[in-house]
Chains A and B, each alone.
Chain A
Amino acid sequence: MKVILKEWNAVATWHWDMPEDEVCGICRVQFDGTCPTCKFPGDDCALRELHTVNLLIGKCGHSFHMHCLMTWIQQETSKGLCPMCRQKFEWVQDEK
């Protein structure tokens, strides 16, 4: 008998390339979910801006939803500090 698999319709789930079950430090929602202002996960509610290489993982090692962090950074009071550790928040430059 010869078995030919002509077509394989698989199902997969995606997840951010991050430690499992990590939550955003601001909104406490898992990264694979959406931040409170977004409706759709993934492209719309990204951890990085599309076509840029900036991951929203600070050099301090804390990561956030991009929308959450942008809201924070734009506030005067934030003074550009990481909300978790109060260091200067700098974006990790993606090597790729």
Chain B
Amino acid sequence: MINSNPLNVGRRRVFGSVFSPAPFEARSSGRGVDHGNTQAASPFHPDASFSTIRTGSFNSPQPGKSFSSTLDRETWNQAWCLASDFLSLPHEGFAEVYNARGRVESKGKASRWHRPPSQEVAEALSYLACSESSETSSELNGLHELLLWYGGEIRRHFLANMRQGLHELFRREDHEELIRSIVECLQLARRMYLTPVANHVLEFAEAEYREKLMAQLQRVFHTVVSYSLPWSKISPLISVVLAKEALIILGIDTLLKEGDMDANDRDDDAMEVDRRYSVFYDHWRNESPEGRERMMIEGEDNHVTTARERLLMFLQGLQQVGLGGDKTQKVFASVMNIMMTEFIRAAYTGKREAPSLVPQHLRHWVEDVFARLVVQVLAIIHHPRMVDQSTNILNVSFSDVEKWQEMGIARLGTLRTSELFDVIVEWPASTGAIEDLRHFTTYPAARSYLTQNFITVLNQRLLHPGASTLEILQLYIAIIRAFNLMDPKGVILDRIARPIRRYLRDRDDTIKVIVSGLLAEPTSIPNRGALPSTHDTLAELSTELSKAHQLSIENNTSELDWDDMNWMPDPVDAAPDFSKSKGTDVIDSVVSLFDSKETFVKELQTMLSDRLLQNRDNYDQEISVLELLKIRFGESTLQACEVMLRDISDSRRVDASIRRDQGLVKLPTRPRPKRSAHASFPDLHAKILSRFFWPTIPEQEFKIPDEIAALQQRYAAGFEALKASRKLTWLNGLGQVLVELKLADREFSDHVTTWQATVIHAFQSDSSSSSSSSSSSASEETNSTTERSISSLAEQLSMTPSLVRSACLFWVGKRILAESSSSSDTYHVLESLPTEEEEHSSTTHHAGQQAGQSAGTNTSTGPPDNTTLTTSAADAAAAAEAAAAAAAKESADAAAMEKMNLYWQFIMGMLTNQGAMPLQRIVMMLKIVVPGGFPFSNEELREFLAGMVAKGKVEIVSGGNYKLIH
């Protein structure tokens, strides 16, 4: 017990270092005083022998005899001198050791230092060994004394010769090799110091003390080494070496290398080398369960084995020269810590297939590879004191392994969290990663980490103006699905969704995207897994809608289900206002983005009206969507939509019966009414709407062609006959017309809007029969075509000029009209297409000619085919687009001006009552006064007022105030 008291051991060493090599004669005088304090502490204490020296007889060399009266001091001294002379170290410098380092076995050197003891020395040693006539319990004798002194000698020699050289090494060598050479040098030095003792001196000691004496010297050496080498310099070196080898042993290097290779290479590799040992997740996955068990244990690669040997050798060396122990364990631990993160990153990044076996694989790896290395290493670099105990306790308990596994799982969670955004983007191909996270998110800390992290990423990568609303919504849907899988309670989702929802609410077009998505045809159902919604609509939503309906029928449980035996309280990190009805799904989440259903229903109405007014055969999609939405919102909310649908289906019936009654149906058997003398009169169909249930439709009043007006009158009469005391109001701005244009060299037929049809109809020459002859040439055509200016058209049709212009541009885009060269805003019919030469297009010559020819001959039905008009078609398309955009802008501008005129009334009132006002104040007042808010910006109002200034209605007086001119 006393034996293991480190304080006393240490003190003894200190004392020993001071006094042992001191001149011998001084000993007896000083000893008694100096060692008095530690006397009882150490059994090695030389005091016992000193007492013998002082009192014992030098003359009696026989062992076993106790306490001779006198000791022959002279003999003792002589023996001591011989022995110490034998052991004294040559003053050889570090350089020799350093140079000897490279040799395989520096026997030569060693033997020069360690010459075998001569006869005399041997005698002296044996004399010393039994010099003390010890008492029964005393263990010290002269030999011990000698070795104590030798320890001091080692210390002195090392400090004098080695230390300087080692320090120089730091300056000379690069880090990779430095630590190895240091260790080699130290090993050599150690051998130099200890070999003579081990070989020649110890044999004289009693057998049971030999080991102890050796260990003692070893400790002396270790102490002096660690004293002279600063740990702060050594530890980074060690960790570099450890990391390098551990990378190989743990298989991380192969993982990293593999990452660089192409996928093809990898496949080839896998095919060629039937590797039985692999830390690859993919390989492991593909194995059978039994194979998985063995995969990381058996059949190690060669380079792994060599690396392992190299590392263990290195550690052995470290341990020998005293650089092992606690400190190295610490370094090793920190290295392994990094290795685990590194491995997880290298092995599992991007491995997101479902079902996920990553946690199992990780556990296997920790147990078979990671823990194995740890056990091997710790067996070498143990605590120095453990040597004495010589027990073979396994340094790693099973609970440690489990702890590492848990740590690994947590690290995996961190990795998954960091790549969560990509995981979501790849959804649903990345279900595996979500499964991994599900294990991870069982701890509150992990949950909050994940939430924080993900929200930051979202803000960086998603919620910025660069992302389209559609993308955000798509991702939001993916997030909802992913998090529902990860955390069925929905608490995490609730937290993460908040910023997204807040952001989406701020976007103007969110509702539009959602509604159009709901109404979109779920065409992509068959290959849903691949790309649920490819382009510009969120067709996913409509799929989800029909799917969710089936689900909601299946599990119809609610929070208030008191008999729910599986009820669980909400997790601790739930927000105070958190509540999740179990039926919450994608649609609900998306629709509930907006505070009231009204916004949603209004948008739905608008969208629905657009779609219903298109000329289509059936509206099954709309009907089914509406039915599904009715389940969610209740009948009454969607009342208007239902009326709309019913209007459409009713009008079809009514349309048929009116047309029958009025003889508008072109049946060959039926005798034609007198009025329809034309060979073909237009088919008039109508959609009859209930006006309060449709969203307000912008009206554009204009005169429709006479024949249509006549038909409409008949139709209206028919309606009145069918439905007594009801009348029709025609909305001429809406609807589609199938027009067929017969031009000199081609025919054109398409569905256009009513106003486009009206405008082109107005271009029809009064004597239409003459131009229909196909023989008209290009020269004649210019004479026969009529030119119409926009203003005259607008007057004639009582249409707004902007609408006329937009229609004209549309027809220009279709290459039916062309703008006259003489004056702008005047258009004429392009009776036959100009040839390629006339057009300054740069296409190949003969192709153009061919095109011209074929266009000339081809007078069959339909528009000219594509090959003839490649370039001009492209031009036309571009022009049409531009025209449409221009028209849209113009009509938008017109609408805006329309509104502005309303506000003008407000402004006039304001300026009259309150005098001149600056722009800012006007805007402010308008914002307060105008019901529904003032939609224009300062700049727009400034422009408008500038227009008014130009018109002379207001003037700008001092200080930028606007003043009304009376």
Binding site for B on A (CB under 8 A): 1-18, 30, 32-33, 39-43, 47-48, 53, 55, 94, 96
Contact = CB atoms under 8 A, between A and B. Distances in A.
Majority-rule SS of A interface residues:
strand
9 contacts: A1-B829, A6-B682, A10-B708, A11-B686, A11-B689, A14-B727, A14-B728, A33-B692, A47-B725
Contacts of A18: 725
B726 A14 contact: yes
Nearest to B764: A3
Nearest to B680: A4
Contacts of A17: 720, 725-727
Interface string B733-754: 0111111111110000100001
B627 to A, nearest CB: 15
A5 B692 contact: no
Nearest to A5: B682
A96 B726 CA distance: 13
A14 B688 contact: yes
B691 A15 contact: yes
A3 B708 CA distance: 13
B763 A1 contact: yes
B685 A8 contact: yes
Interface stretch (B28-36, B339-347, B638-646): B638-646
Interface of B: 613, 615, 639, 642-643, 646, 650, 680, 682-694, 705, 707-708, 711-712, 715-716, 719-720, 723-732, 734-744, 749, 754, 757, 760-761, 763-765, 768, 771-772, 785, 816, 829, 831
Given A5-B708, A5-B739, A6-B680, A12 B689 contact: yes
Nearest to B721: A96
Contacts of B771: 1-2
B727 A10 contact: no
Contact of B738 (A2, A7, A16, A96): A7
Contacts of A11: 613, 686-687, 689, 730-731, 734-735
Contact of B728 (A13, A39, A53): A13
B711 A8 contact: yes
Contacts of B816: 1
B726 A39 contact: no
A12 B688 contact: yes
Given A1-B771, A8-B685, A10-B730, 12 more contacts: A1-B744, A3-B757, A5-B705, A6-B739, A7-B685, A8-B711, A8-B735, A11-B735, A12-B731, A13-B688, A14-B689, A14-B719
Nearest to A52: B724
A4 B741 CA distance: 6
B726 A16 contact: yes
Given A14-B726, A42-B690, A2 B739 contact: no
Report the 3 A-B pairs with minimum CB-CB distance, sorted nearest first.
A11-B734, A7-B738, A13-B691
B785 A1 contact: yes
A41 B693 contact: yes
A12 B729 contact: yes
Contacts of B690: 13-14, 32, 41-42
A5 B737 CA distance: 7
Contacts of B727: 14-17
Contacts of A5: 682, 705, 707-708, 737-739, 757, 761
Nearest to B763: A1
A14 B723 contact: yes
Contacts of A33: 692
A6 B726 CA distance: 28
A49 to B, nearest CB: 11
